[in-house]
Amino acid sequence: MGVEEQALAKLRERFPKLLLESGSVRPGVGRVKIDRKDLVEICFYLKEELGYEHLSCISAVDWRDRYECVYHFTRYSDGSMFQVNAIIPHDDPHIESLCKFWRSATYPERESYDLMGIVFDHQPDLRRILLPPDYRFFPLRKDFPQEVDRQYISRRKLKTGGV
Amino acid sequence: MFLVFSAVEIVGAILTVTSKKLVRAAFWLLITLITISGIYILLRAEFVALIQILVYAGAVPVLLLFGIMLTRKKMLEESETSEAK
Amino acid sequence: MSGSLLTPNLVGLCRSLTEILLGIVKAIFDALSLPGLGSWFMSPGVVVFFTYLIATLVMVMWAALVNLLSVMWVERKLYSRIQDRRGIMLGVPWPWSKKYKRGMTNLGWGFLQNIADGVKLLQKENITPASADKLLFHAAPAIIVSSTIMVFAVFPFSENFYYTKVALGVLFVLAALSLGPFAIILAGYSSNNKYTLIGGLRAAAMMLSYEIPLILCVVAVVLLSGTLDPFQMVAVQERPLLGTIVPSWNVFSPPQMLGFVIFFIALVAELERIPFDIPEADAELVEGWTTEYGGMRFGFLFGFKWLRAFAGAGLLVILYLGGWNGPVFATFSVLGYPIPILPQEFWFLLKTYLVVMVIIWISWSIPRVRADQVLKIGWNRLIPLALLTILGAAVFKTMGWF
Amino acid sequence: MAEFWVNMGPQHPMTHGLWNLRIKVDGETIVDAEPIIGYLHRGVEKISEVREFQKVIVLTDRLCYVSSITWSHAYCLAVEELMGIEIPERGKYLRVISLEIQRIASHLMWLAAFGADIGLLTMLLYALRERELFLDLIEIMAGLRLNSNYTRVGGVRNDVPADFEKSCQRVIAHFLKKLDEYEDMMENSKTFLMRTQGIGKLSKEDAINWGVTGPNLRGSGADVDLRRTIPYEVYDQIDWEPAIEKDCDCYARSIVRMREMRESCKIVLDALKKMPPGPYRMKPPRRAEGEAFRATEDSRGEALFYVAADGDDRPYRVKIRSPIFCTLAAVPQMMRGHKVADVVSIMGSIDICVGEIDK
C-alpha cells in the first residue's frame, strides 16, 4: 500500500461522506473530489494531520457546467502529492479562501480570480493581479471569445464584400 | 572689484531671505558666502577666504539642505493619482 | 633631479607667445598705416590680458580635453581588458595605418570612442523636466564644471607647468573640490525625482563624512612638511631618505603610510567610484542624481567625474608620492646644462595615471557597498584613524624623527 | 523623514524585465513593499487551449527565455502523464542532459544579473561569456540557442551528434576552472559578504508556507529537490547531491546556486556516460482525455503543469504554476526593515524571470 493509499484511507475514515470521488493517480499521488463547502475542513486535515505542508498550485477549470478549483499539495518528507478537486456551481463562483493556512495561497487565488472570476471568500487582498484593475472580463472562462481567426475574417470579407 | 562683490553679495543676501523655496535660499546663501570669500581675497586674507569656501560654502549649505530635506514633508508626499490601486 | 619641460613657466611661455603674435598683429597694422592701433596692441595691459587668456585656454584645454579624454580612454581600455569586452577594442585605426584601411576594425586603439561619445551627447536634446526647479537644475552642472576647472588654476604639473602659484595651493584644491557636494545635492533636489533625491541625499551624506578624513589626512601631511604650498611640499619629498636611495616620499614615513591608505579610500569615496558609488548606484537608483540630465549636461556631469578623479589622483601624488620627482638617473648634463631625458611632467603624469589605474582596477573588481555601511566605515574607522595619523605626525615632527 | 513610495520599475535596472516593485521607504529603510506584475501577460494559458498538444511547446519555450528547455520539459511530462505514455530510455537521458545544460545556462544568467545588481559588472561579462559555451552546447543539441524547442511530447526532437560527449567534457572542464574564479570573486570577497550575509532572511517554515521553492527554499535549509523527492526521468539513476544551505539569507541562496552548477556538471557527465543507445522518441497519441499534472524542478523552483483534456487533440485547460510567481509573494516579508540598497541583493538572489511570472 503506497503512501497515497494510506492518506486516502485516513481521509475516507475521517470524512466518510464528504469525498465524492477518491483514488490514486499514480504511485505517490492521491486525488479526491469534494464539494466546495468541505474544502477548508479537508485541507486543514491534510495539512495538520497528514503533513501536506506545501500548497503548490491552485488551478481553476471551467467545465462549462461547473467550475473546479484544483489544489495540489506536496508532502516534502516523502514527495507524495495530493490533488483536491473542489466543485463549484457555475452560477455562483464562490469558494472559501485558504489564506488562513497557507500564505502561498494569496497569489494563486488572486490569479484565479483575475483570470477565471472565481471569488475567494475571506481573501484579505482579492484584487486583479495580472490584468489591469479596470478590466471587466475573465478571459480564461470558456465563454470568453478565444481567438479571432483573421484569415476567416478576410475570407468572409472577400466573400461577402465587407462586414 | 569690491563694489561688484558687495553688490552680488547684497543681492544674494536679499534673495536668501526673500526667496520662498528654501532650497533656493540655500543656493543664494552659497553665492553670498562665496562672494564674501572674494572680499576676503581683496583684503589679502587668502587663508581665511579659502577656509571660508571650504567650511562655509562647502559644508554649511549642504548641512542646511540636508536638514531641509529631512524635515520637509510636503515635498515628498505622494500625490493621489499615482496610487496604483 | 629631473627638470621641467616648460621653461620658465606656463605663463612666461604664453607671454612670449603672445608677444610674438601681437608683434605680427602690430606689423600688420603698421603696414596698414595704423601705427596707433598697432602700438596699443603692444601696450603692457593688452599683452598681459592676452597672455592670461592664452594661458587659461592652454590649461583648460590640457586639463579638460587631453587629460579628461585620456583618463576616460584609460578607464575604458582597462576595464575592457579586465572584463574581456570587445566593444572598446572597436575603433577607428590610425589614419596612416595602411594595413587596416577598410575602416572600422577591432585593432584600433579605441581613442576616438570618447570623441564619438561626446559628439553623440552634443547632438542629443537637453531635456529639462517640466516640474524641475529650472534655475537650480541649470545651475548644478555649471557649479560642478566650474569648481572642477577651478582646481587646475593652482594645480602644478611640474615645477614650471602651472597657472598660478598660490601659497595655499593644497587648501585651494580642497576648497574647490568641496563645492561639488552642494551642486550634487542641488541637482538631486531640483530634478524633482525620487531617485535623484535619494541619490543627492546619499551623495551629500557620503561626501560630508568622507571629506573629513580627507582633510584630516592633509592636515597630517601639512604638519610634517610645514607648508600648504604644493611646490614646497614636493621639494620636501625630494631628498633621499636617510642615506638610502629610496626617496623621502611622504608615503614612506610611518605615520603617513596609514594616512596614505585613508586618503586613498576617502578619495575613492569622494570620486564616487564603485565600492562607494552609492549616490548613483545604477542598479538601485537608476543613475542616482544624474538621472534627469540628458545630452551634454549629462556629459558634463559624467565626464567631469573623471576630471575630478584625475585631479584627486594628482593631489594624492603631490601629497604622498613625491609629486613630479623622478629617479635620479633621468637627467644628464651637457656642458653644465641639465637636460632632462624624461621631464618632470612625464613623471607626474605617470604617477597620476598609475593611481587612476589602481582606482579603476579596484572599482571594476569588487561590488558596491551599502549606504549605511559606507557611512559606518567613514565615521567609525576612517576618522579615528585619521586623527591617529595626525597624532603620529605630530609626534614624529616633535621628536624630529623624519 | 516622511515615508514615501518609490516605484522601482516598470523600467528599472533592478527589475530584470517588466514589472514594478513599489517600495515604501522611510529615508533609506524599507517599510513596505508591493510587487505589481502583469506588464508582460501574454495569455499563454488561454492561447494553448486552441493549439494542439505538440504545438503548445512553442509557447512554453517562451515562458522564460533563460531556461526554456526546463519549461517545455515540464509541460511534456504533464502531457505524457495525461496520455499515459512512457518515452524511450535514451530520450530520458537526452532530456536530463539538456535540462542540466539549460540549468547551468540559467544559473549563469542569474550570476550575471546578480553581479550587475550588486555593482560587480565584471561578473556580468564573465558569466555571460561562459554562458555562451553552454548555449553553444544547446545549439549543437537542438539547433537553436535560446528557445530551442527541443523537448517534444514523446521524447526529444533529435539525437545528439557523435562527438557531443567530447565537446561537453571540454566545455565542462573549462567551466569548472572558471567556476573557481567566480567563487574567488564572489564568496571570498569581503564586500560581497557585506552585501549578502544576513540580508533577506526567510526561515524554513516561512519559506514553505509562502510557497517558495527551488534554490531559494534550499537556501533556507529545506532538503527539497524535486529531482530527488519526486524523481522524474532518470534522476534516480544518477549520482548527485542536492545543494542545501542553512543560512536563509541572500548569501545562502547564491551559494546554493553556485553549488548546483557544479552538481549539474556532474549530472551531465554521468548521464552522458550512462546513456544507452536506442530510439530517442516515440509517436504520441493525438488525442487524450482526463486530467494530469507533473511537478518538476525548474532552475528557479517547482514548475507544475496541470493539463486537462476533453478528448480533443488540444488541451482543455493548461495551468502553469510558476515558481517565481509564488516567491514574489514572499518578497515584501523579506524586504521589510532592510535598506534600499538591499532590494537589489534580495531580488537578485531570488532570480526573477518575468516571462514566467506573467505567463
Is residue C109 domain-shared with residue C248, that is, in the same domain?
no
User: How many B-C residue pairs are in contact by the CB < 8 A criterion?
Assistant: 72
Is residue C114 domain-shared with residue C151, that is, in the same domain?
no
Q: Using an 8 Å CB-CB cutoff, list chain D residues near B76.
A: 1-2, 4
| C98 CB-contact burial (10 Å; exposed 0-12 / middle 13-18 / buried 19+) | exposed
pLDDT tens readout for residues D38-97: 888 888 888 888 888 888 888 888 888 888 888 889 898 888 888 888 888 888 888 888
The reply to whether residue D14 touches residue C372, judged by beta carbons under 8 angstroms, is: no
pLDDT at C388 over 60: yes
Q: How many Cβ atoms sit within 10 Å of the Cβ of residue D217?
A: 28
pLDDT (0 to 100) of residue A160: 65
Chains C and A touch (3+ CB pairs under 8 A): no
Residues of chain D whose C-beta is under 8 A from some C-beta in C?
A: 4, 6-8, 12-14, 25, 28, 115-122, 125-126, 129, 185, 189, 191-192, 194-195, 339-344
Calpha distance C19→C41 (Å, rounded):
10
First-to-last C-alpha distance (Å) of chain D: 39
ipTM for the whole predicted complex goes beyond 0.90: no
CB-based contact (8 Å) between D162 and chain B?
no
**Considering only CA atoms, which of D170, D17, D187 is closest in space to residue D118?**
D187
pLDDT at D236 over 60: yes
The reply to whether residue B78 touches residue D36, judged by beta carbons under 8 angstroms, is: no
**Considering only CA atoms, which of D333, C94, D45 is closest in space to residue A115?**
D45
pLDDT (0 to 100) of residue B77: 45
Say which residue the cell 567566480 belongs to: D182
C49 within a domain of the structure (yes/no): no
Mutate which: B16, B30, B65, vs C, most C CBs within 10 A: B65
Mean pLDDT computed over C220-247: 75
pLDDT at C100 over 60: no
Calpha distance D337→C269 (Å, rounded):
26
Per-residue pLDDT band for C150 (boundaries 50, 70, 90) equals confident
C256 within a domain of the structure (yes/no): yes
Residues D343, D113 contacting (CB under 8 angstroms):
no
CB-based contact (8 Å) between C387 and chain B?
no
Grid cell, residue D274, equals 550512462
Most confident of C2-11, C102-111, C390-399: C390-399
Q: Which of C82, C202, C370 sits opposite D195 (nearest CB)?
A: C370
B75 within a domain of the structure (yes/no): no
Neighbors of chain A with 3 or more C-beta pairs under 8 Å: B, D
Q: Which of A62, A79, A115 sits opposite D230 (nearest CB)?
A: A79
Per-residue pLDDT band for C107 (boundaries 50, 70, 90) equals low
pLDDT at B85 over 60: no
B74 within a domain of the structure (yes/no): no
Per-residue pLDDT band for C87 (boundaries 50, 70, 90) equals low
Structural domain boundaries, residue B33: 2-69
The reply to whether residue B54 touches residue C175, judged by beta carbons under 8 angstroms, is: yes
pLDDT at C93 over 70: no
Per-residue pLDDT band for B81 (boundaries 50, 70, 90) equals very low
Per-residue pLDDT band for B79 (boundaries 50, 70, 90) equals very low
**DSSP-derived secondary structure for C336-369:** TEEEESS-HHHHHHHHHHHHHHHHHHHHTTSPPP
pLDDT at C43 over 80: no
Is residue C118 domain-shared with residue C137, that is, in the same domain?
no
CB-based contact (8 Å) between C194 and chain D?
yes
pLDDT at C44 over 60: yes
Question: Nearest C-alpha of chain D: how many angstroms from A12?
Answer: 22
Grid cell, residue C160, equals 614650471
Question: Nearest C-alpha of chain C: how many angstroms from D150?
Answer: 31
B29 within a domain of the structure (yes/no): yes
Nearest residue on chain D to B74, judged by CA atoms?
Answer: D2
Q: How many domains does chain B have?
A: 1
The reply to whether residue D210 touches residue A147, judged by beta carbons under 8 angstroms, is: no
The reply to whether residue B53 touches residue C205, judged by beta carbons under 8 angstroms, is: no
C2 within a domain of the structure (yes/no): no
Mean pLDDT computed over C107-115: 68
B28 within a domain of the structure (yes/no): yes
Q: Which of D4, D7, D20 sits opposite B77 (nearest CB)?
A: D4
| C335 CB-contact burial (10 Å; exposed 0-12 / middle 13-18 / buried 19+) | exposed
CB-based contact (8 Å) between D85 and chain A?
no
Question: Nearest C-alpha of chain B: how many angstroms from D2?
Answer: 5
**Residues paired with A119 in a beta bridge:** A94
Residue-level length of chain A: 163
What are the sequence ranges of the domains in chain A? Answer: 3-160
Would you give the DSSP letter of residue C92?
P
Calpha distance D121→D183 (Å, rounded):
15
Of residues A67 and C334, the one with the higher pLDDT is: A67
Per-residue pLDDT band for C249 (boundaries 50, 70, 90) equals confident
Q: Say yes or no: domain D3-358 is CATH 1.10.645.10.
A: yes
Q: How many Cβ atoms sit within 10 Å of the Cβ of residue D256?
A: 23
Mutate which: D25, D28, D126, D251, vs C, most C CBs within 10 A: D28
Q: How many Cβ atoms sit within 10 Å of the Cβ of residue B72?
A: 14
Return the percentage of chain D with pLDDT > 70, whole number: 99
Of residues D237 and A155, the one with the higher pLDDT is: D237
Is residue C262 domain-shared with residue C289, that is, in the same domain?
yes
Most confident of A1-10, B46-55, D172-181: D172-181
Q: Using an 8 Å CB-CB cutoff, list chain A residues near D317.
A: 59, 61-62, 140
Nearest residue on chain D to C80, judged by CA atoms?
Answer: D122
Nearest residue on chain A to B84, judged by CA atoms?
Answer: A133
Residues C196, C188 contacting (CB under 8 angstroms):
yes
Nearest residue on chain D to C78, judged by CA atoms?
Answer: D122
pLDDT (0 to 100) of residue A159: 66
pLDDT tens readout for residues C361-376: 888 888 888 878 888 8
Is residue C94 domain-shared with residue C214, that is, in the same domain?
no
Backbone conformation region of residue A135, classed left if phi is above 0, alpha if psi is from -120 to 50, else beta: beta
Residues D159, D91 contacting (CB under 8 angstroms):
no
CB-based contact (8 Å) between D178 and chain A?
no
Which CATH superfamily, name and number, covers A3-160? NADH:ubiquinone oxidoreductase Nqo5 subunit (3.30.460.80)
Mean pLDDT computed over C260-277: 84
pLDDT tens readout for residues C313-364: 888 888 888 777 766 554 555 665 656 667 777 778 888 888 888 988 888 8
CB-based contact (8 Å) between C219 and chain B?
no
Grid cell, residue D306, equals 496541470
pLDDT tens readout for residues D323-338: 888 888 888 888 888 8
Question: Nearest C-alpha of chain D: how many angstroms from C288?
Answer: 12
CATH code assigned at B18: 1.20.120.1200
Nearest residue on chain B to A133, judged by CA atoms?
Answer: B85
Q: Using an 8 Å CB-CB cutoff, list chain A residues near B82.
A: none
Structural domain boundaries, residue C118: 89-123
**DSSP-derived secondary structure for A11-24:** HHHH-TTT-SEEEE
Is residue C170 domain-shared with residue C305, that is, in the same domain?
yes
Q: Which of B50, B65, B66 sits opposite C175 (nearest CB)?
A: B50
Is residue C357 domain-shared with residue C242, that is, in the same domain?
yes
Q: Using an 8 Å CB-CB cutoff, list chain D residues near C198.
A: 6, 25, 28, 340
- The answer for A 70-99 residues in CB contact with D (under 8 A) is 70, 72, 74, 76, 78-79, 81, 83
Q: How many domains does chain C have?
A: 2
pLDDT at C257 over 50: yes
Q: Which of B71, B78, B84 sits opposite D4 (nearest CB)?
A: B78
Nearest residue on chain B to C135, judged by CA atoms?
Answer: B24
pLDDT at C302 over 50: yes
Nearest residue on chain D to A127, judged by CA atoms?
Answer: D36
pLDDT (0 to 100) of residue C243: 57
Question: What is the average pLDDT score of chain C?
Answer: 78
What are the sequence ranges of the domains in chain D? Answer: 3-358
Q: Which of D119, D185, D189 sits opposite C281 (nearest CB)?
A: D119
Residues B70, D4 contacting (CB under 8 angstroms):
no
pLDDT at B57 over 80: no
CB-based contact (8 Å) between C212 and chain B?
no
Per-residue pLDDT band for B82 (boundaries 50, 70, 90) equals very low
pLDDT at C40 over 80: no
The reply to whether residue D326 touches residue A107, judged by beta carbons under 8 angstroms, is: yes
Mean pLDDT computed over D295-319: 86
pLDDT at B84 over 50: no
Say which residue the cell 531617485 belongs to: C195
Is residue C116 domain-shared with residue C172, that is, in the same domain?
no
Mutate which: A103, A118, A128, vs D, most D CBs within 10 A: A103
Calpha distance D12→D172 (Å, rounded):
34
Helix (H), strand (E) at residue C398: helix C383-399
Backbone conformation region of residue C106, classed left if phi is above 0, alpha if psi is from -120 to 50, else beta: alpha
The reply to whether residue B84 touches residue D27, judged by beta carbons under 8 angstroms, is: no
**Residues paired with D293 in a beta bridge:** D306
Could you tell me how far CA D128 lies from the centroid of its own chain? 16
